[in-house]
Copies of this chain bind each other. A is one copy, B any other.
Amino acid sequence: MDQLSATFAALADPTRRAILARLTEGPATVKELSEPFDISGPAISKHLRVLEKAGLITRGREAQWRPCQLDATPLQEVAVWAENYRRFWDASYTRLDALLTEMKEKEQ
C-alpha cells in the first residue's frame, strides 16, 4: 500500500482521528489515549499500530510506558493533494473556470 493510501485509510476511523487530535496537546501514554473511549486496550493498541505504520505517530519508551507523539508530516501530503481540487470546490468557480477556458480558446 502506498503512503497516501495508508494515510487516508488511517484517517478513515473517527477513533484514530480523535487520538491524533489528543496528541496535538502533547505526547501521551497508551493508557491516557485510551481513557476517552470505552473500548479495550488491545483495540487501542491496534489503532496505534495503524497510525504508526502510516507514519502519523512515533513511539518511545520510558520505563513501562510507551509514549506516543504526533508526526503530522503525512498530513501535509494530504493537504497538498486536496488543494489540487480547490478549483472544483464550488460550482461558481467551476463555471468561471469554464468561461476562462472558453475565452482562451477564442483568442487562439
Residues on A lying within 8 angstroms of B by beta carbon are 2, 4-5, 8-9, 11-14, 17, 20, 24, 70-73, 75-76, 78-79, 82-83, 85-86, 88-90
Interface SS of chain A = helix
Q: Is the CB of A79 within 8 A of B83?
A: yes
Contacts of A75 in B (CB 8 A): 82, 85, 88-89
Q: Is the CB of A79 within 8 A of B82?
A: yes
Contacts of A5 in B (CB 8 A): 12-14
- Min CB distance A66 to B, Å, is 20
Give the residue name and chain of the B residue nearest to A86 (CB): B79
Contacts of A85 in B (CB 8 A): 20, 24, 72, 75, 79
A78 with B72, Cβ < 8 A, contacts A9-B12, A12-B5 known = no
Contacts of A9 in B (CB 8 A): 8-9, 12
Can you give 7 contacting A-B residue pairs, CB < 8 Å? A4-B17, A8-B11, A20-B85, A75-B89, A76-B86, A79-B86, A82-B82
- Min CB distance A41 to B, Å, is 23
